Chain A
Amino acid sequence: MPLETESTLRIRSIIKDFKPNNGDLLAALYAVQHEMGYLSKEALAVIADQFKMFTAEVYGMASFYEEYRFDPPAKTTIRWCSGPACRTRNSAGIRDAILATLDLNETGEQTEDGQCSVVVGQCNGTCELAPMIWVEEHKTYELPVGKLTAAKSIKLARGLRSGSGIGEILNG
């Protein structure tokens, strides 16, 4: 076995209690992504080792699910609600406004400077706030922002892009 790097050891310790064939793989992937921000090649290999699977199998499994990332997340992620209550209130326009503001072609992309990304979110039953988005910073906060308009969402995206904090943008 080659010398283990510090991050390998860290990943190993995150997943040390998970076992193969015990319904643990989803949880292991979640735990590593939560701690490390994303699932690197190295992480997939370490997980595969623990689960006695091929790395390709782990990647094949993980890539089926929307929530796993294989690249570092942007500083701030805008999770856009794709649900029906939001859709009747111009949420498609809000999505396109945010994408245009950030110079992105589609959801799933992030800005070149890594400041912002836009991902598709699912309704979680707070439709009284429609149309809404969630603004997230990994392991820091996850903030629902509701009753949006396209104009408000552009101001928000411009603020985030220029590096302003979310509190500043919403209160200012």
Chain B
Amino acid sequence: MVSVDSAASGTQTNEGSSVTSRYNELVRVADEEFKYWLNPLQPRIDVANDTSSLANGSDRIEQILKQAVAESGATIGIGHVHGYGIQSVHPTVSITWPNGTRILYGPVTPERCSDLIQEAQDGPNSHLQDLVIGQISGESGEIASIRDHPFFSCEPDERRLLANLGITDPDSLNHAIATGSYKATARIIGRRMPEGRVRDSLIAAGLTGRGGASFPTGVKWNFLAGAQGNDHYVVCNADEGDPGAWVNRVVMEGEPHSLIEGMLIAGLATGSRTGFIYLRDEYPLAIDRMERAIQNAINNQLLGKNILGSDLEFNLRVIRGAGAYVCGEETGLLSSIQDSRGMPRVKPPFPAQVGVFNLPSNVNNVETYATVPMILRHTSDWYKELGTESMSGTRVFSFSGDIAQVGFMELPFGTPLAKILDSCGGIHTPNGEHGKLYAIQSGGPLGSLLPSHSIDQLILENASFAPWDAIMGAGGIVFIGEGTHILVLNELFSEFVEEESCGRCTTCHGGNQRQTEIVRRIISGRGRRDDAPNLKLVDDLLQHSNCVHGQFSPKTMRNTLQHFRTDYEDAIAGYDPTLTLSGMYELEIVDQTDPLLNEAATICPKGQFEGEAGAWSINMSGCVRCGACIDIAPNAIQKKALARSPRVIPIA
């Protein structure tokens, strides 16, 4: 068994110095390449190539740029980086000039590509002023630094985990090494640092798990290090199933080597020679990028046998998931790796006792591992400079919903949520108008629905969510504006937790079916006065489920009954001011002279329009409330609330 613990102290040995010189050689080569990346001999345009950028058409932009450069014979390089964080301005590109100035532009359209090439040739701020987002590096004076962009106003002056995002090419090992990757590894192996010291540093830094439960990472690693036998495994939970959370994706697509190094260090610190990254199928690009990064690391003796020329070994593999949320639960994940259904089992035994292939294992989230190298590169005290007393450091959060700017930020724990909503540009309606906050969704389907007035009391820290019977969760936060009824979200999450129940516990799969049925019935306009007590019964029942999936699945519904009681009671009475619950409104033609009505009649997928031009009527009996006719003729067709008694007296 390999172990770094065999040497008593942290002094250099002969083997240690060869490790150090091997690492120094890697750094020398990497620095040489990276120097020309930061100060290229000719201007270079870097196209962002993360999942969001590609979904917004960055591949097309790249094609056009390449073709235009080839045709014009311009001496301009084309490269790749990860997007910087504001996804609403994707696709973005950055231009880097020989003097090291780098500016970010977006959203880039095919029509602006020729301007981009001109800008690259003529220098900053000549042709694209309207697309400038900010300056990433260099001193050109006129253009504001990206760090001063309002979207990033809650981020620390310098990013930590995402320090190189938008600057390095994520597929380049040299870029990673030149910016500090594997430095901590070289130090640990080169100096034969006792493995216990690594774990102690994490405990001192206060690093807690990023997968939701916030368990102290160093303590968890101690369990594995102390476990029986010589065969241990480290496992990375990259299942990131919470809709609205994509922070692990950003780390894997933008900084793959930070995850690899974090897992390698975990292997060294817990006596494990094998690691698995269980990565969700919905992230094909992240799978690709991680596999490429692993191969690059192997080719350079950073993974595999004889790491950096030492006698240490660590092998890493990506396991592609297949679309089961519950495989994010750690025992479900372990079972999924072992050729089985990903069903959570009873704990104990915990993974550190019985894990992959029934051998002791450690499961951590992507970001947990990825944070380890920088703590060891700097110090535990440095890490603790940001964050709060109970949660130190920073983490990546993703923000979506009815906001002006969707994207991700790396934020210190403790950041006030109200400030974050401001930096996202506030609530925006689908028409781009300013709106009002209605609800905040955190923690995914097993998480919470918070009322708008909670925002002034919420900071990014678990303890601040607790008084609302809420959890902060694993990084995804959705802001919801006043146009949507809370039950629309309850329906989504009820369906989700029902669909994703593994089926082991009757309480969980049966209880969640019942919950979904009740929610759907209320939405269809047939709510009953005993629905609230019945939902409470379902909630109580679900507490007798084996795993957190079952136990937490009624949380969003419970939050609705706690924090949105009036809206809930109104819906029971058939009254929905947002007109988004399908059973509580009808369609009414308010202007027969609108010529768009004819098109509305033909768009209707159910053929519900009767009559003819000038005398249309809509037969509501087969209407599925899809809204397409209103999309076409918004001035002629309106939703009209069904007449009901205003409000019942609550019984529960």
A residues at B contact (CB < 8 Å): 20-21, 23-27, 29-30, 51, 53, 60-61, 64-68, 82-85, 87-90, 92-94, 96-97, 99-101, 120-130, 144, 146, 149-155, 157
A88 close to B481 (CB less than 8 A) = yes
Q: Does B441 contact A (CB under 8 A)?
A: yes
- A122 and B323 in contact, given A83-B244, A100-B605, A100-B606 (Cβ under 8 angstroms): yes
B605 close to A126 (CB less than 8 A) = no
Across the two chains, which residue of chain A brings its CB closest to B445?
Answer: A84
Question: 4 tightest CB-CB pairs across the interface, nearest first?
Answer: A125-B246, A66-B323, A127-B400, A83-B243
Contact with A along B374-391 (1 / 0, CB 8 A): 000000000000000000
At the interface with chain A, which of B196-204, B334-342, B569-577? B334-342
Selected A-B contacts with CB under 8 Å, 15 pairs? A29-B322, A30-B320, A64-B342, A82-B243, A97-B627, A100-B626, A123-B243, A125-B52, A126-B52, A130-B406, A149-B631, A150-B627, A151-B628, A152-B631, A154-B628
Q: Chain B nearest CB: distance from A28 CB in Å?
A: 9
Give chain A residues whose Cβ lies under 8 Å from the Cβ of B249: 124-125
Q: Does B55 contact A (CB under 8 A)?
A: yes
Across the two chains, which residue of chain B brings its CB closest to A51?
Answer: B339
Across the two chains, which residue of chain B brings its CB closest to A146?
Answer: B55
B406 close to A87 (CB less than 8 A) = no
B88 close to A128 (CB less than 8 A) = yes
A96 close to B281 (CB less than 8 A) = no
- A84 and B244 in contact, given A20-B339, A96-B625 (Cβ under 8 angstroms): yes
Contact with A along B490-502 (1 / 0, CB 8 A): 0110011001001
Give chain B residues whose Cβ lies under 8 Å from the Cβ of A26: 319-322, 336-337, 339
Q: Does B96 contact A (CB under 8 A)?
A: no
Across the two chains, which residue of chain B brings its CB closest to A144?
Answer: B55
Give chain A residues whose Cβ lies under 8 Å from the Cβ of B628: 93, 97, 149-151, 153-154
B323 close to A65 (CB less than 8 A) = yes
- A93 and B625 in contact, given A84-B478, A127-B406 (Cβ under 8 angstroms): yes
Give chain B residues whose Cβ lies under 8 Å from the Cβ of A151: 603, 628-629, 631-632
Across the two chains, which residue of chain A brings its CB closest to B52?
Answer: A126
A144 vs B343: C-alpha distance in the bound complex, in angstroms? 31
Q: Does B205 contact A (CB under 8 A)?
A: no
B244 close to A85 (CB less than 8 A) = yes
Give chain B residues whose Cβ lies under 8 Å from the Cβ of A93: 624-628
Q: Chain B nearest CB: distance from A78 CB in Å?
A: 14
Residue of B282, B339, B478 touching A61 (CB-CB under 8 A): B339
A146 vs B55: C-alpha distance in the bound complex, in angstroms? 9
Q: Which of B244, B322, B324, B337 has most chain A Cβ within 10 Å? A: B322
Q: Chain A nearest CB: distance from B346 CB in Å?
A: 18
B626 close to A122 (CB less than 8 A) = no
- A92 and B281 in contact, given A100-B624, A127-B401 (Cβ under 8 angstroms): no
A128 vs B373: C-alpha distance in the bound complex, in angstroms? 31
A21 close to B626 (CB less than 8 A) = no
User: A97-B624, A123-B246, A154-B626 given. 9 additional CB < 8 A pairs?
Assistant: A23-B317, A23-B337, A26-B321, A65-B323, A82-B243, A100-B624, A124-B282, A129-B56, A149-B627
B407 close to A128 (CB less than 8 A) = yes
A60 vs B341: C-alpha distance in the bound complex, in angstroms? 8
Residue of B88, B430, B441, B632 touching A84 (CB-CB under 8 A): B441
Give chain A residues whose Cβ lies under 8 Å from the Cβ of B330: none
Q: Does B209 contact A (CB under 8 A)?
A: no
Residue of A66, A120, A154 touching B324 (CB-CB under 8 A): A66
Q: Chain B nearest CB: distance from A46 CB in Å?
A: 15
Give chain B residues whose Cβ lies under 8 Å from the Cβ of A144: 55
Q: Chain A nearest CB: distance from B494 CB in Å?
A: 12
A123 vs B246: C-alpha distance in the bound complex, in angstroms? 9
A88 close to B341 (CB less than 8 A) = no
B605 close to A125 (CB less than 8 A) = no
Q: Does B527 contact A (CB under 8 A)?
A: no
Contact with A along B289-330 (1 / 0, CB 8 A): 000000000000000000000000000010111111100000
A88 close to B605 (CB less than 8 A) = no
A122 close to B407 (CB less than 8 A) = no
Question: Which residues 596-652 of B have a CB within 8 angstroms of A?
Answer: 603, 605-606, 624-629, 631-632
Residue of B88, B484, B626 touching A88 (CB-CB under 8 A): B484
A155 vs B600: C-alpha distance in the bound complex, in angstroms? 12
A35 vs B345: C-alpha distance in the bound complex, in angstroms? 33
Q: Chain B nearest CB: distance from A47 CB in Å?
A: 10
Contact with A along B238-273 (1 / 0, CB 8 A): 000101111001100000000000000000000000
Q: Chain A nearest CB: distance from B603 CB in Å?
A: 5
A144 vs B284: C-alpha distance in the bound complex, in angstroms? 14
Give chain B residues whose Cβ lies under 8 Å from the Cβ of A94: 626
Q: Does B350 contact A (CB under 8 A)?
A: no
Q: Chain A nearest CB: distance from B627 CB in Å?
A: 4
B492 close to A82 (CB less than 8 A) = yes
Q: Does B398 contact A (CB under 8 A)?
A: yes
Q: Chain B nearest CB: distance from A17 CB in Å?
A: 13
A88 close to B603 (CB less than 8 A) = no
B402 close to A88 (CB less than 8 A) = yes
Q: Chain B nearest CB: distance from A132 CB in Å?
A: 8
A60 vs B459: C-alpha distance in the bound complex, in angstroms? 44
A87 vs B483: C-alpha distance in the bound complex, in angstroms? 11
A125 close to B338 (CB less than 8 A) = no
A154 vs B603: C-alpha distance in the bound complex, in angstroms? 7
Give chain B residues whose Cβ lies under 8 Å from the Cβ of A129: 55-56
A135 vs B387: C-alpha distance in the bound complex, in angstroms? 42
